[in-house]
Structure 1
Amino acid sequence: MVRVPLTAVERLRGERLGAVLRRARGTRSMPQVAVAAGISPETLRKIETGRAPTPSFFTIAALAAALDLSLDELFAACQVEPPLSASA
């Protein structure tokens, strides 16, 4: 299966997601939060650094629950205004 390259907006959204998760994690260790969310520390590291900018909904929901974040807050924090097209 060939993966379609991510757009600049998708990459930026992934970077914002990682930043929000890092801030919410605070002083807790990456392994602590990963175990609480039921994912591997490596997966959490990739999400936090933007190397996995499009995690599954279930992964995001598990992380939100482990970090006491609402999905609405997380969604709002990761929004990116798409660039205006040349035809607009």
Structure 2
Amino acid sequence: MVRVPLTEAERERGERLGVVLREARGARSMAEVATRAGISVETLRKIETGRIPTPAFFTVAAIADAVDLPLDLLRRAVEAAPLEQAV
């Protein structure tokens, strides 16, 4: 199965997602949030930096839950915010 390349809009949305999640993490360590979300620190780092622009829904939901960010607020922030000011 060949994976279709991401569009520029999809890559930008992934970067915005990372910015929003990083801001929501605040002063909490990556290790703390990753442990609470049940993912590796490296996966969290890649999502926060946009290197995984389309993470699985359940991964995003677990991170959002770990940082107490309701999914509806996350969705609105990712859709509406400019890349520089996502939260």
TM-score (norm 1): 0.87
Deviations 1:8-46 (A, max 9, x none): 110011000000011111111111100000000000000
State the distance in 1 between where 2:77 and 2:7 align. 18
Of all paired residues, the percent bearing the same amino acid is 70
Structure 2 letter corresponding to 1:56: A
Q: 2:73 is paired with a residue of what secondary structure?
A: helix
State the distance in 2 between where 1:21 and 1:35 align. 15
Structure 1 letter corresponding to 2:39: I
Whose radius of gyration is greater, 1 or 2?
1
TM-score (norm 2): 0.88
Q: Where has structure 1 moved over 2 Å in runs of 4 or more?
A: none
Aligned pairs, number: 80
Instruction: Show structure 1 runs of 5+ residues with no match.
Output: 81-88
Instruction: Show structure 2 runs of 5+ residues with no match.
Output: 81-87
Over aligned residues, Cα RMSD in angstroms?
1.0
